[in-house]
């Protein structure tokens, strides 16, 4: 699960183009560590602020600007993760990582849903940003999360990780190992993308038609549905567990939908998902964990603060 070594090689000049060229790598790292584009942007901005706050002679003396920037960004994210755990304890309802549209910023029908300059377009979509993996990362300590991502995703050595986490290399190895065991405990046999898409499509049809039997046919018996409204938008306050409970919950949602609501298939964090729109505005994004041909988890993000990367589609007809 290695994205590739995005670090600067020793001896690269600390010119502005070289330094700013690290932005995409830093955004990729920060999003994986924090699960939020807004927080990732803040972390990257703070990293560059610290770089340019240094006297020029100190910047010129740094042998590898990319390595310096990664170290600082990693430490900032580590600090943010610690404070985020406290904030999320006060969060209203369930907290779900911020969903990403596909890298091209296009929906399933080809319309623009993102700005070309949007940071979401700079996040590489792979198995390390699936909603299932990001949710698993939320169960880890900040040090475990940073150690695992830096080593397993980005290929940093444990001595390098130690310099960021502030632990010994041996301790970082143990942290990554613990985090890896936790991630593997939640792993399921991979389902081919086409099969995942077919399953999500079947769920959409059954949901919109309020067909309980068809819903039960695509839901795992132990299915779980989680919604994130952030206290701003109505959402289930706690996870809904069990196929029958989930099916009835979504059938009730379909029955209460106002006229003009659309539910479209679209990529979410690199996997098949759904976007609910009302009057052209995305009001809910759904991500799925498909095991075999059944849906094991549904994550519904309704907090509008997390849907800013999913803007208005002007071509949608107004609803009256």
Ranges of each domain in the chain = 1-95+140-187, 102-137+190-320
Give domain 1-95+140-187's CATH superfamily: PhyR, sigma-like (SL) domain (1.20.140.160)
pLDDT for the residue 126: 86
- Is 97 buried (19+), middle (13-18) or exposed (0-12) by CB count in 10 A? buried
Per-residue tens of pLDDT for the chain, all 320 residues = 444 344 443 334 567 777 888 999 999 999 999 999 999 999 999 999 999 999 998 988 998 999 999 999 999 999 999 888 777 778 899 999 999 987 544 333 334 444 445 666 678 888 899 999 999 999 999 999 999 999 999 999 999 999 999 999 999 999 999 999 989 888 888 899 999 999 999 999 999 999 999 999 999 999 999 999 999 999 999 999 999 999 999 999 999 999 999 999 999 999 999 999 998 899 999 999 999 999 999 999 999 999 988 855 544 443 32
What is the signed CA dihedral for 110, 115, 116, 118, rounded to 10 degrees? -130
Of 102, 130, 120, 128, the residue nearest 37 (C-alpha): 120
- The fold of 102-137+190-320 is Nuclear Transport Factor 2; Chain: A, (3.10.450)
CA–CA separation, 271 vs 129, rounded Å?
10
Q: How many CB atoms lie within 10 A of CB 189?
A: 6
Handedness of CA 224, 261, 314, 233 (dihedral sign): negative
The helix (H) or strand (E) run that includes residue 194 is: helix 193-208
CA–CA separation, 100 vs 121, rounded Å?
9
pLDDT for the residue 111: 41
pLDDT for the residue 188: 80
pLDDT in tens, 146-196: 999 999 999 999 999 999 999 999 999 999 999 999 898 888 888 999 999
Residue showing tokens 């990664």: 70
pLDDT for the residue 27: 95
Is the whole-model pTM more than 0.75?
yes
pLDDT for the residue 25: 93
pLDDT for the residue 17: 74
pLDDT for the residue 288: 98
Query: Which residues, at least 6 apart from 167, have a Cβ–Cβ distance to it below 8 Å?
Result: 143, 175
């Amino acid at each position: 699960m290695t994205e590739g070594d995005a670090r600067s090689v020793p001896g690269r000049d600390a010119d502005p183009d070289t330094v700013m060229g690290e932005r995409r790598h830093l955004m990729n790292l920060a999003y994986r560590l924090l699960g939020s584009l807004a927080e990732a942007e803040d972390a990257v901005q703070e990293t560059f602020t610290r770089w340019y706050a240094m006297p020029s002679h100190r910047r010129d003396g740094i042998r590898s600007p990319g390595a310096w920037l990664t170290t600082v960004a990693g430490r900032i994210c580590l600090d943010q993760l610690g404070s985020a755990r406290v904030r999320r304890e006060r969060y209203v309802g369930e907290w779900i990582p911020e969903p990403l549209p596909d890298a091209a910023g296009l929906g399933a029908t080809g319309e623009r849903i993102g700005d070309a300059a949007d940071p979401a377009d700079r996040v590489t979509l792979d198995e390390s940003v699936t909603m299932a993996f990001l949710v698993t990362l939320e169960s880890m300590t900040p040090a475990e999360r940073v150690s695992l991502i830096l080593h397993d995703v980005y290929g940093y050595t444990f001595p390098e990780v130690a310099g960021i986490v502030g632990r010994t290399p041996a301790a970082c190895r143990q942290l990554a190992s613990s985090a890896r065991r936790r991630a593997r405990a939640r792993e399921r046999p991979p389902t081919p993308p086409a099969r995942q898409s077919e399953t999500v499509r079947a769920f959409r049809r059954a949901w919109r038609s309020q067909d309980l039997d068809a819903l039960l046919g695509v839901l795992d018996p132990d299915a779980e549905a989680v919604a994130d409204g952030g206290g701003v938008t109505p959402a289930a306050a706690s996870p809904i567990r069990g196929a029958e409970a989930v099916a009835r919950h979504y059938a009730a949602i379909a029955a209460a939908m106002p006229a003009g609501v659309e539910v479209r298939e679209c990529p979410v964090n690199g996997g098949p998902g759904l976007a609910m729109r009302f009057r052209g505005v995305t009001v809910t994004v759904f991500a799925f964990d498909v095991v075999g041909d059944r849906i094991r988890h549904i994550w519904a993000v309704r907090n509008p603060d997390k849907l800013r990367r999913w803007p208005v589609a002007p071509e949608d007809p107004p609803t009256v």
